[in-house]
Amino acid sequence: MTTFAAELARSRPEEVAIRDERQALGWAEVDETLNRVANGLLARDLGPAHRIAVFAENAVETAMANLGGLVAGASVVPVNFHLTADEAAYILSDAEVRVLFVDSITAARGLEAARQAGVPLVVGWGDVPTGVEPWSDWLAAQSAAEPPSDQPPRPNLLYTSGTTGRPKGTPLPPTMFAGGATVKEHLENLGKSPMAAFGPHLVVGPMYHTGPLSGARLLAAGVSSVILARFDAEKTLDAIQRYGIGNSVMVPTHFVRMLALPDDVRAKYDTSSLQRISHTGAKCPVDVKRAMIEWWGPVFVDAYGASEVGTTCMITSEEWLTHPGSVGRSVPPFEAMILDDDGNPLPAGQEGRLFFKDATGRGIVYHNAPEKTAEAHIAPGVFTLGEIAYMDAEGYVYITDRFSDMVVSGGVNIYPAEAEQLLIHHPGVLDVACIGVPHTEMGEELKALVIPRDAANPPSAAELIAWIRERLSTYKCPRTVEFVTDLGRNTMGKINKRKLRAPYWQS
């Protein structure tokens, strides 16, 4: 048996270990499921990279496939379930994936992506088409015996949107990976998580992100998990009360939507069980953060960082109340630095580019892309996440703008290059630039600034948006289009995106 699950099955036999809106598993069922997943994967040739992928919406099976892969010593690739077949195929091929898990929503796209990438086995739950092996049949064919645990653990390979139109793979960084020489040691390290003290975990974000995936990893620490298929403001409050939720990972958009509920709806639910809410994805507006602290109490921890490196800055609610608007002070092994455009340090209170120095020398690492890894640094281990900021005399960091092109919408990173490289091929488009503009709920949304090829007879905004949505995942597409006569390209053809954004952010 998987040691942690077997022990919990003995000590807490009646407890629900993990549930979604369709089903609930006890610890004994978790133990058997993980054993079967791990043994099924260990029996296959996963190639030199030992990689599998999970391309599915939030569900108990999604968690079991992710954690079962980890128990098997596989490197699991969580694939954004919004992606088209072509987009997913690129990731499966780049990561050298040998087994793909899907659900009924992603099955058709997953099957086509697997065909393009040469993935030999696709397993899926729900109503899946011919060519996808049903999850229940695949599990039943695997041994329920305790799998070996002496194989080395392998970190997830995560894919971020690409600055040049292709997503970039990055291994789960050491700051977020429990390590250990063997899977047994790795699971023991996960079992020591301080999050075990905070009670049941609620998953509200998509499980292709590292934060929401923590609900699966926390099972190894004996933390039960409740999974919502999609975020819904009132369902979230209901789950908190119904299951006595102690901790979760959220983004500011979740807070905005819960605060927008009518007062009488919010008052119906008891949230006193909450002990820790980690929030990430984007800087939280001051008024939103203050309102959430007044409502739920000082239970919030802002974890600022990125998939490539983990958390680089952190701030508790108590600290934030005395430093409102800050994303916190840098945490080991990172040291925050504010530099000018020439790389010189700036004094406290002066705005500049925010960089971090990794004391281990690792910094950012991109899979199969040494040139992108090098480009991410100005010196060994010194990197930026693309933000403009200043730092006060106490070392608290305040983000004021972004110098990279990246747009953060609802906690999801979007690189405009992907949309731009498609829109430029529309017959009615002469030139285009996509930028982030303010959005009340999402923080930012993508806007396309378009120079039409024929100013007297331009394509409609609706036509352009429909055209690109046929070719790119919807969340990566512009929500609005504005026709302009100039994008301000310099003599080298470059665009100052910060200058283009400025008029929209003045208020």
Concatenated DSSP letters for 76-125? EEEPPTT--HHHHHHHHHHHTEEEEEE-TTTHHHHHHHHHHHT--EEEE-
**Cβ pair 30, 23 in contact under 8 A:** no
pLDDT digits (tens, 9 = 90+) for 301-334: 999 999 999 999 999 999 999 999 999 999 999 9
Specify the pLDDT at position 507.
Answer: 61
Q: How far is CA 263 from CA 69, 130, 254, 295, 326, in A?
A: 43, 49, 16, 11, 28
How, if at all, do strands 157-160 and 168-171 pair?
Answer: antiparallel
**Does 231-340+349-402 carry CATH code 3.40.50.12780?**
yes
In terms of C-beta density within 10 A (0-12 exposed, 13-18 middle, 19 or more buried), how is residue 461 classed?
Answer: middle
pLDDT given for residue 223 in this prediction = 96
Assess whether the region 3-220 and the region 231-340+349-402 belong to the same CATH fold.
yes
Using left for φ > 0, alpha for ψ between -120 and 50, and beta otherwise, residue 43 falls in alpha
**Euclidean distance between CA atoms 282 and 250, whole angstroms:** 10
CA distance 389 to 406: 16
Q: Give the pairing type, strands 352-358 and 121-124.
A: unpaired
Return the SS3 of 224.
coil
pTM of the model: 0.89
With CA atoms as reference, report the closest residue to 51 among 108, 1, 4, 92: 92
* 375-379-383 Cα angle (round to 5): 60
Give domain limits for the chain.
3-220, 231-340+349-402, 410-505
Q: Which long-range contacts (CB under 8 A, 24 or more apart) does 211-218 make?
A: 211/249, 211/278, 211/280, 211/281, 212/58, 212/249, 213/66, 213/78, 213/156, 214/249, 215/63, 216/63, 216/64, 216/66, 216/67, 217/67, 217/70, 217/178, 217/190, 217/193, 218/190, 218/193
Asked if 157 contacts 75 with a C-beta cutoff of 8 angstroms, the reply is yes
DSSP 190-221: HTT-GGGGG--EEE-S-TTSHHHHHHHHGGGG
Place of tokens 């999850």: 135
pLDDT score recorded for residue 164: 57
d(CA 254, CA 306): 19
Q: Does domain 410-505 have CATH number 3.30.300.30?
A: yes
Which of 413, 357, 355 lies closest to 384, judged by CA?
A: 355
pLDDT of residue 6: 87
Residues 6+ apart with CB under 8 A from 466: none
Give 313's strand partners.
304, 330
The token pair that represents 163 in the structure block: 């600055």
Q: Cα–Cα distance between 131 and 431 in angstroms, integer? A: 43
- Give the number of other CB atoms < 10 A from CB of residue 118: 12
- Give pLDDT tens digits for 41-90: 999 999 999 999 999 999 999 999 999 999 999 999 999 999 999 999 99
**Alpha-carbon separation of residue 80 from 127, 399, 407, 500 (angstroms):** 20, 27, 17, 29
- Regions of the chain with pLDDT less than 70: 1-2, 162-165, 491-492, 507
Q: What is the CATH number of domain 3-220?
A: 3.40.50.980
The CA distance from 41 to 99, in Å, is: 8
Number of residues in the chain? 507
Q: What pLDDT sits at residue 1?
A: 43
Cα-based distances in Å from 3 to 8, 148, 220: 9, 11, 9
